[in-house]
Amino acid sequence: MSNKELKSLQFNGVSWKVTHLGETVILLECASSVRIEKIHQCSRIVIEILGKELVDIVPAYHSIAVFTSLSIEDLVNRLKNVETDEHSTMATLAIVELPICYEVGLDTERISKHNGLSLKEMISMHLNGVYRSLFVGFTPGFIYADGLDEQLNCPRLDNPRKGIAAGSVGIAGNQTGIYSIESPGGWNIIGRTPVKIFDSTRDEPMLIGIGQQYKFHRITKSEFEAWGN
Amino acid sequence: MGKLKVVKASPLSTIQDFGRYGYRRYGIPQSGAMDKESMIFANQLVGNKADYPVVEFAITGMRLEAIEDSVISTVGAGLKLNGKVMNRITNLKPGDIVDVGTPDAVYGYLAIRGLIEAKEDFGSVSTYVMAGFGGMEGRVLQAEDILISRKSIIKIVESTPSNGETQSTEIRIMKGPEWNMLKELPSLKSFEIDPSSNRMGVRLKGILDCEYQEISSSAVIPGTIQLPANGQPIILMNDCQTTGGYPRIGKVLDEDLGKLAQMKSGRRITFRTIS
């Protein structure tokens, strides 16, 4: 089946395939070899260039969905051959530190067994990691991140749970993420942070921006339970 | 302006408006009325602006009691006042009991003259239960809830009824990013609406042959037609997630989404591809 609407675009050193995702949504897709930092940088440029003509933007691993009433031709013309110095738009955001309690992790045993680690080794490996938010999806504020130690990989649960508490830190294969609100889920839960990573009442609802790094420091179960009181 | 008490709620009665736009970057779904046209019509009947919040209900109707003088309308379901069958629009006095019937199709709408008071999150009062956004404390309506509408500029518009189940079962689609994975044209087959359809998605029975390949998570929107490995298409609807990993073979045109939402389970649809 051929798709004649396909266009191509050279923008910020990346070749993009341009198609419609919807009447007012244009999808830019690139090769899987393009690094996520580049996707984030391109997203920031799109935000800058389109200004008020941009309704929304959804970056993912190898794509950027641009919500705009512009036509594909107009968008391609606006972005064509725009290049930016590699560092000029790279936001150097501080690393966010999140408290984590492993005692309330539902799958600590499963994760450690799967990798042949003791609980202590698993915890210290997880605490050593620096994670980076790649994009948001699944539910409001759910962060997909990289930075997980290979030895902490663990396949998804066969039967997803009906309710996973907000703040649960999950592992699925080599992906890691944080549940932002209570929701069903099939990821292994290694621990929980008592901090609200997503709060609709805040001006900036996300505590961790896309592309921003975060790491954990350990708290005890009683500290976890007393948090915020 | 209007005040009603919910005596008996429908299991899926929620306050909805046109939905939230501009927040998919935070993973926030659009939500909003599943059948926009019926929502607008209900508002027009009581003289409200088209985008005023309404009560959307499904599966069963609901019973309400007027606490103060109110004007209400229903679209897509019958209406009884103190046991007597009424037209679409009714003036209520305190103590009046209103029975809103089970929706004729899938979703029914109740409008109250004035602006319904509701929680606003991210620029909309549409209820999104999973995150507790909008509506009545972010949840479905339940007995004893009080619906209050504030005074507003009333403008009666002459409108022609266009609600109820439509006869045409053709759904127009545009090609999606993974259209090329298809091994057959969607327009050559017919599909049945699956009963598990809801505000997140309409599931279809029927197979589309495709060279299946999972894609790395990428944006999806209401109307996106996903094709999972089993070949049975899922059309994402208002409360859908913002990213997904199934091939996106097409998208239902925005104009046809309300019509699709109102298709009862068991009905058959066909696709027409628009280029």
> What pLDDT does A38 receive?
92
Mean pLDDT calculated for residue range B50-73: 97
Q: Which of residues 56-95 of B touch A (CB under 8 A)?
A: none
Judged against a pLDDT cut of 90, whether residue B202 lies above it is answered with yes
Interface probe with B: pick from A146, A200, A206, most Cβ of B within 10 Å: A200
Judged against a pLDDT cut of 80, whether residue B259 lies above it is answered with yes
Residues of B in contact with A58 (CB under 8 A): 24-25, 219, 242-243
Tell which residue, B249, B28, B23, has the closest CA to residue B138. B28
**Beta carbon pairs, A and B, within 8 Å:** 118
Q: Which of A3, A5, A23 sits opposite B253 (nearest CB)?
A: A23
> What pLDDT does B9 receive?
96
pLDDT mean across residues, chain B: 93
Q: What percent of chain A has pLDDT over 90?
A: 76
> What pLDDT does A211 receive?
87
d(CA B67, nearest CA chain A) in Å: 32
Residues of B in contact with A140 (CB under 8 A): 26-29, 131, 133
Pairwise CA distance, residues B140 & B143, whole Å: 10
Q: How confident is the model at residue A86 (pLDDT cuts 50, 70, 90)?
A: low
Tokens of B211: 């060279």
Asked if B24 reaches chain A (Cβ–Cβ under 8 Å), the answer is: yes
> What are B137-170's pLDDT values in tens digits?
999 999 999 999 997 666 666 655 554 555 679 9
User: What pTM, to 2 d.p., does this model score?
Assistant: 0.90
Judged against a pLDDT cut of 90, whether residue A214 lies above it is answered with yes
Mean pLDDT calculated for residue range A15-31: 96
Q: How confident is the model at residue A10 (pLDDT cuts 50, 70, 90)?
A: very high
B219–A180: do the CB atoms touch at under 8 Å? no
Question: ipTM of this predicted complex?
Answer: 0.92
What's the length of chain A?
229
- Asked if A190 contacts A105 with a C-beta cutoff of 8 angstroms, the reply is yes
B243–A5: do the CB atoms touch at under 8 Å? no
Tell which residue, B114, B105, B35, has the closest CA to residue B73. B114
Mean pLDDT calculated for residue range A160-185: 93
Tell which residue, B158, B144, B79, has the closest CA to residue B111. B79
Judged against a pLDDT cut of 60, whether residue A144 lies above it is answered with yes
B15-51 burial code (b ≥16 CB/10 A, e <16): bbbbbbbebbbbbbbbbbbbbbbbbbbbbbbbbbeeb
Tell which residue, B51, B57, B63, B93, has the closest CA to residue B75. B57
